[in-house]
Amino acid sequence: MASVWLVFVLWIYISAMIKVIQASCVKIHTPAPLVLAGSPVSVSCSIEDDCSLTKGKDFRVAWKIDNDFAPSNLSYQKSNRTYSVIIPSLPDAGATIACAVCVKENCQIVNGVTVKVGYPPSVPKNLGCYLNLTSLQLLCQWDPGQEMASHPTNFTLRIFRTESNRVIPDPYVIPPRAHSCSIQRESYHLFSEVEINVTAVNVFGNATSETLKLIPMETAIFDPPKIKRVEADVLGCLNYTWSLAKSQDWLKMSLSVELRLKTVNNTLDKKLVLATRKQKSKINVCGLLHGTDYSTIMRVKYSPLRNWSEWSDPEIATTLMKAPTGSLETWLKVNDQNAELYWKPSENFSANGRNLLYTVESREPKKALCFTQENHCIFNLPKKVKTVYLIAANAAGRSDHTVVVYRIKGQGSVSKFSVHPQSETSLLIEWERLKSPHVTGYVLEWRSLSETPAAPLSFTLMDKTNNSTIVTGLTPYMPYNMSIYPKYDDWIGRPLTFTAYSSEKAPSVAPMLNVTKISHSYVKLKWNEIPLGQRNGIIQGYTVFVWDERNDIKVLMTSANETSVVVRDLQPFTTYNALMTVHTMGGSLNGSLRSFTTGNIEGIDMVLFVIPACIGSSLLLIIVVFACFGKNERVKMCLWPIIPDPANSSIKRWTNTDPLQGMPPFKEDKDTVLVYLSHFSLLDLSENEPFKSDYVKENQWSHDIDSHDESHSSFQTGVRYDSEHDRDSVPYATVVFGGPYQNHSSGLPAYVRSESTQPLLGAEDPGSPPPYENVSPSGSVSKVQRFTTYPQNSTESEENEELWEEFPMLKSLEIRDTDHM
């Protein structure tokens, strides 16, 4: 096995050596391995005479640019064994050009060369220079543009004076990759104009920047100056003494100076630009507030067209004080005798000093009610005092008093308002003006609800023509309690109070859900309110999501005032997940996930379910029973219709005066008529089984009811007797009414048979016809084919009397016309 691998390796090595020897007989040449972008490229390939690749073969030479063959029209044969190709242009990244010897369709690359493409240097841009007064060197820098990584670009800086047009003999050669240069002091004069340019050079060419003209001193950047001393010798004025930095103190020229004064509490800002000032000269600034601390900074420059130096360190000084001037805006709130007085500076008020002390006093009686350095005061207002006076004082004196008039509380309030955020720190408040002629103005007060301790009250006063105001200086995402009071001639109206935010976002935290009560079918979830400082807006409501393992989701939405919710219609012994989302106008936030498992149905729950069900069923049963007894006759006729028993029946005359028991009233509104028999049949039994009830069969009836004469009305009495066979028989009768018998849904059969074996007429009623005697089996019955209706006159009655005597049972069915009775 090892010998096989050895032979394989030797074969590969020998094949590679053969290819190297063959390729060594082909030489490739190009005039320039690096060419300018867009320039044509010429490459030649020379084949030796004894080259084994071509000796004795019909071959041709092809060229490949990277992986693609070059068009044949670009190549040509330069001499007997030399072949060339001219490529018009190469890609920006360059290309590899290879020479291939082709025998028929088989081409073998024998040599190649890599040609790179380059560009001339970019023109340097943004050339700028400035003078460093510490080292007195002129520092210049520029933007080189795009550079080639393989062929670096060198830069050369030249400087010459404009008045003599003389170039500095030795230009500054900058190292590769450097884009700045320092020009030494001997190459220029501080106050003489010079010209500077930069030239970029690489193998493909050079490029020169635009010429920069400048006076070195005008490009100088000064170090921050220093404020040496500040004096306050005149009311409202400050005097400053200053100088340049120590390293630049030797300069004696005039400079432009800028001062910026700012009160310590940043309420006022004053900027002063002075045209020219020499250092160590005094600068006097007036028109300042009295007794006010000012922080001052300054900076300098030489030329108006150049940049300023950096700002100096701040220096704090205080102007001279004098007594406060102007009045204060006040807002007095009285609850019983407890008074709260708030004030703030008006537009014409000036403190004129620091550490103001405020005094609240009454004149009748002469009494000081409050001393404070704050902007509010709480005191006990005497009953007879209706006016108090507010005075501000400093070390230089006291201000004029501000009159504060006490107004009682009265009726009237603002009914409609709206709040519109203007920015993250301001709100626009609008309201509807009251139409009362006694309204003199409005007061809007507000206080932050999230600060601890409680934030001081702020307020603004407006006249009666105003119906809106903008409140500024609010903290974003913090709640403010605001109230609007109408002011009348002698009283203060009731406030309209609301909570507002200058801007809202989603709450910082979400409430934690707690399970307070749980059963097999419901759960009660409770949560705590979000602290005011973390709400970040007005809570619009809560959404509770509850779902089980099958992802059956219940969504319950609650108002902002609710802190609990009951989820009903849950499945027993099932695990549920609950999630709460809290909403504001600025966004929503999801809380943490809470899981719980419902319980099994308990015994008491089962009892509470079964007992009401049983009570309900019992009540329903009682109602049905009472209904049945209350409608006994009707229910009885519906459920158990009365069927005459032939054994206990007698046939008699029926008239319209007899009650029709068991007969429901006719629906039609008709006169009372006689009820006639519509069909009559006699049943005779076999002489072998004369009295067996099971002998009665359907084929023993003589004829169907439909076989009688249709000329007779269904309300007439018809009798048919089967006389085809004369045999002993016991007659039975079937009576069928032409009208309805019962009004139940199930239809009665066409024939109703009696199964009784007792005599049909056995009643002892004296008013009934005589009892019927059974016919002897040996006897015979005369054949009567048909009976007509009862005769209407006496003549016919007498003629048929003998006919009826032969049928005593039929005679008992005689029905007489009640109109003749």
Handedness of CA 336, 337, 340, 346 (dihedral sign): positive
> How many CB atoms within 10 Å of residue 424?
12
61 in Cβ contact with 75 (< 8 Å): yes
What whole-number distance in Å separates Cα of residue 266 and Cα of residue 295?
9
Q: Say if residue 800's pLDDT is above 80.
A: no
What whole-number distance in Å separates Cα of residue 403 and Cα of residue 419?
33
Confidence of residue 496 (pLDDT cuts 50, 70, 90): very high
Across the range 770-790, mean pLDDT stands at 42
Q: Say if residue 444's pLDDT is above 90.
A: yes
pLDDT at 609: 65
Q: Which residue has the tokens 């509104």?
A: 669
Q: Which residue has the tokens 């009372």?
A: 672
Residue 161 parent element (H or E): strand 154-161
Confidence of residue 624 (pLDDT cuts 50, 70, 90): confident
Across the range 498-527, mean pLDDT stands at 93
The residues pairing with 387 across neighbouring beta strands, listed in sequence order, are: 405
Q: Which residue has the tokens 């966004």?
A: 587
Q: Say if residue 359's pLDDT is above 90.
A: yes
What whole-number distance in Å separates Cα of residue 339 and Cα of residue 492?
14
Across the range 408-430, mean pLDDT stands at 89
pLDDT at 183: 87
133 in Cβ contact with 222 (< 8 Å): yes
* Region label for 569, one of left (φ > 0), alpha (ψ between -120 and 50) or beta (otherwise): left
- Residue among 444, 390, 437, 385 nearest 414 (CA): 444
CA angle 232, 233, 239 (to 5 degrees): 55
| Range of lowest pLDDT (48-62, 416-430, 585-599) | 48-62
pLDDT in tens, 573-582: 899 999 999 9
What whole-number distance in Å separates Cα of residue 199 and Cα of residue 178?
13
Q: Say if residue 703's pLDDT is above 50.
A: no
Confidence of residue 807 (pLDDT cuts 50, 70, 90): low
Which of 254-263, 564-573, 664-673, 803-812 shows the highest mean pLDDT?
Answer: 564-573
pLDDT in tens, 627-654: 776 666 666 667 666 666 666 665 554 4
pLDDT at 542: 95
Amino acid at 583: H
pLDDT at 172: 85
Start-to-end Cα distance in the chain? 145
The chain-wide mean pLDDT, for the chain, equals: 76
pLDDT at 166: 56
133 in Cβ contact with 250 (< 8 Å): no
pLDDT at 646: 67
Sheet holding 34-36, edge to edge: 34-36, 106-118, 95-103, 59-65, 68-69
- Residue among 745, 627, 737, 623 nearest 677 (CA): 737
Sheet holding 238-243, edge to edge: 226-231, 238-243, 282-285
pLDDT at 429: 94
Across the range 563-585, mean pLDDT stands at 93
pLDDT at 24: 64
Q: Is 716 helix (H, G, I), strand (E, B) or coil?
A: coil
Residues 6+ away with beta carbon under 8 Å from 500: 419, 427, 429, 446, 479, 480, 482
What whole-number distance in Å separates Cα of residue 26 and Cα of residue 55?
12
Across the range 52-78, mean pLDDT stands at 83
Q: Is 340 exposed, middle or buried (0-12, 13-18, 19+ CB in 10 A)?
A: middle
What whole-number distance in Å separates Cα of residue 181 and Cα of residue 127?
11
Mark 663-690 as b/e (b = at least 16 C-beta within 10 Å): beeeeeeeeeeebbbbbbbbbbbeeeeb
What whole-number distance in Å separates Cα of residue 272 and Cα of residue 105?
89
pLDDT at 649: 60
> How many CB atoms within 10 Å of residue 556?
16
Which of 84-93, 449-458, 575-584, 680-689 shows the highest mean pLDDT?
Answer: 575-584
6 in Cβ contact with 20 (< 8 Å): no
Tokens of 550: 């099958």
Confidence of residue 159 (pLDDT cuts 50, 70, 90): confident
Q: Say if residue 717's pLDDT is above 60.
A: no
Q: Is 642 helix (H, G, I), strand (E, B) or coil?
A: coil
Q: Is 42 exposed, middle or buried (0-12, 13-18, 19+ CB in 10 A)?
A: middle
What whole-number distance in Å separates Cα of residue 548 and Cα of residue 262?
65
Residues 6+ away with beta carbon under 8 Å from 129: 138, 139, 140, 141, 183, 196, 212, 214, 216, 219
Express the helix, strand and coil content of the chain in percent, nearest 5 each.
Answer: 15, 35, 50
Q: Say if residue 449's pLDDT is above 80.
A: yes
Q: Is 80 helix (H, G, I), strand (E, B) or coil?
A: coil
By DSSP bridging, strand 417-423 and strand 408-409 are unpaired
pLDDT at 22: 45
653 in Cβ contact with 815 (< 8 Å): yes
CA angle 769, 773, 776 (to 5 degrees): 160
Half-sphere exposure of 100 (CA within 13 A, CB side): 21
What whole-number distance in Å separates Cα of residue 180 and Cα of residue 169?
20
Q: Say if residue 732's pLDDT is above 60.
A: no
| Range of lowest pLDDT (242-251, 304-313, 692-701) | 692-701
Q: Say if residue 706's pLDDT is above 70.
A: no
221 in Cβ contact with 136 (< 8 Å): no
In the DSSP assignment, the letter for residue 714 is T
Residues 6+ away with beta carbon under 8 Å from 787: 717, 718, 719, 810
Q: Cis peptide before 121, with omega less than 30 degrees from 0?
A: no
SS (H, E, C) 715-735: CCCCCECCCCCCCCCCCCECC
Q: Say if residue 806's pLDDT is above 70.
A: no
